[in-house]
Structure 1
Amino acid sequence: MLRLSRSKSGLKKPRLPDGIRIYAISDVHGCADLLQQMFAVIDRDLSTIGSKRAIHVFMGDYIDRGPDSRRTIDLLIDRGRKHESVFLKGNHESFLLDALGNSSLLQDWRQYGGLQTLSSYGLQPSLNPDSVEQAKLIEQLAVAMPEQHLRFLKALRPRFVCGDFFFVHAGVKPGISLSKQQEHDMLWIREEFLQHEKRYEKYIIHGHTPVQQPDIRSNRANIDTGAYATGNLTLLTIQGDRLLAI
């Protein structure tokens, strides 16, 4: 457990409205077992918070790379039925949806770990499928994917705002109002956002770029700890102006 604080700059700390607690998770990448472990941690915490309003915020990249994308989505759908939850879109979900409409994208999706997702739906892709196999695999995926999974993916949001916090998968483009951010930037941006040190209109909580441990800065917090490679899925809890990473 790591208790986090930002630099003592004299600036007002970002806060959530009173009575709200947020549980944020990003970049599960098919690690369903790790996600279940985090749910157990959240459930223990929920038993201690009394009448506070608890909001789960999942920040995208639920699929690819890891072993069980299908079960991960099942777990998230079930969690959303039982708890107030916000599901954001990651670049991997965006790519899957694009590939469902254009099988030629499967070759690029393969480089992002898409073959592991296909396998989780019971398909058996070769390591380097040709164009004929690519088209067949996309047809098979469209049949194998439950309708509720497709609805879940199509309903993902690009951003979520609560109090002084702005939740997004990858980040935001500096110099652009948060209300005018483009979805592509929010799903894919890296260096321009990561190197920006000035504060934004709100404090940015994001994932997308793996770090060894949660990276908390004066203007943003990155909680992608590379679960599929490290076995470490981070849970960030926010209440008031306090951030706690597990």
Structure 2
Amino acid sequence: MKTKTAFVGDVHGNLTALNAMLRILAAQDLAHVVFLGDYINKGKESREVLQELISVARSGTVTLLRGNHETALLDALDTGNLGPFLKMGGAVTIRSYVGGRNVRADVLSDFRENLPREHVDAIRNMPETYETEDLIAKHVPPPVSGSKFRISAHLPIGELPVVREGSAQLDTGCDGTGGRLTALLWPTLDFVQVESSGDIVRP
């Protein structure tokens, strides 16, 4: 019986790194894969990243948690205020949806028209927490919960994940220009990484 679960850090619009990681994980004989959020912004392929993740999640063995960048996108749509989203690198996400043509003065309307309902619904339905008897995983580091192992992303911590006795932080800076994409394997606490270019990081 498959027992291993993989937890994947911030992707931030990097389809090349995501696809490379998916190929690695496909060979790991996993029971489940949990993505920890922040699929959009910074990198130029946010639309493609979200579409790929929505597709793989249909298998039923993949969970997509919501990150603060996805929450900011929903806030922009719901309030009509793009300011906070743009400050987080949202301009490249908008560009990935509206294409190479000129964006109209009413950027929000342009964005709404080109943002597939499937993507909005998927983000709204993303849970914030994945929890089992042994662990709790969230995008933002969760508070201590008894003896449960805590897994998070969100805070860039350099090229290597930080794995301690009771927690792991997995945001190793992946975006469109650099950093690494990291997956932690539970319960062994081994990890695998790819560069932003998609190259596998060798131990």
Q: Which residue matches 1:114? A: 90
- Encode CA deviations 1:119-141: one digit per residue, 9 max, x unaligned: 11025799xx9xx94xx211111
Asked whether the equivalents of residues 7 and 34 of structure 2 are also in contact (C-alpha less than 8 Å), the reply is yes
- Written as runs of structure 1 = structure 2, the 5 A alignment for 1:29-68 is 29-46=12-29, 54-68=31-45
DSSP-derived class of the 1:23 partner? strand
One-letter code aligned to 1:238: W
Q: CA RMSD in A?
A: 2.2
One-letter code aligned to 1:102: T
Q: CA deviation at 1:165?
A: 1.0
- Written as runs of structure 1 = structure 2, the 5 A alignment for 1:70-85 is 70-85=47-62
- Matched residues in 2 for 1:201 and 1:107: separation? 40
- Matched residues in 2 for 1:44 and 1:218: separation? 27
Q: Which residue matches 1:170? A: 140
Residue segments in structure 1 that go unaligned for 5+ positions in a row: 1-17, 47-52, 179-199
Higher share in helix: 1
- Matched residues in 1 for 2:184 and 2:95: separation? 30
- Written as runs of structure 1 = structure 2, the 5 A alignment for 1:72-221 is 72-104=49-81, 106-122=82-98, 133=105, 136-173=106-143, 178=145, 200-212=146-158, 213-221=160-168
Normalising by structure 2, report the TM-score. Answer: 0.86
- Matched residues in 2 for 1:150 and 1:97: separation? 8
Size of the aligned set, in residue pairs, is 190
- Matched residues in 2 for 1:244 and 1:230: separation? 22
- Matched residues in 2 for 1:211 and 1:230: separation? 14
DSSP-derived class of the 1:57 partner? strand
Asked whether the equivalents of residues 98 and 110 of structure 2 are also in contact (C-alpha less than 8 Å), the reply is no
- Matched residues in 2 for 1:206 and 1:109: separation? 22
One-letter code aligned to 1:221: A
Task: From the CA coordinates, give the structure whose radius of gyration is larger.
Answer: 1
Q: Please, which of 163, 181, 186 is the counterpart of residue 238 of structure 1? A: 186
- Encode CA deviations 1:149-203: one digit per residue, 9 max, x unaligned: 11111101010112311010011245xxx5xxxxxxxxxxxxxxxxxxxxx4411
Residue segments in structure 2 that go unaligned for 5+ positions in a row: 193-203
Normalising by structure 1, report the TM-score. Answer: 0.71
- Matched residues in 2 for 1:163 and 1:41: separation? 27
Percent of aligned pairs with the same amino acid: 28
Q: CA deviation at 1:70?
A: 0.2
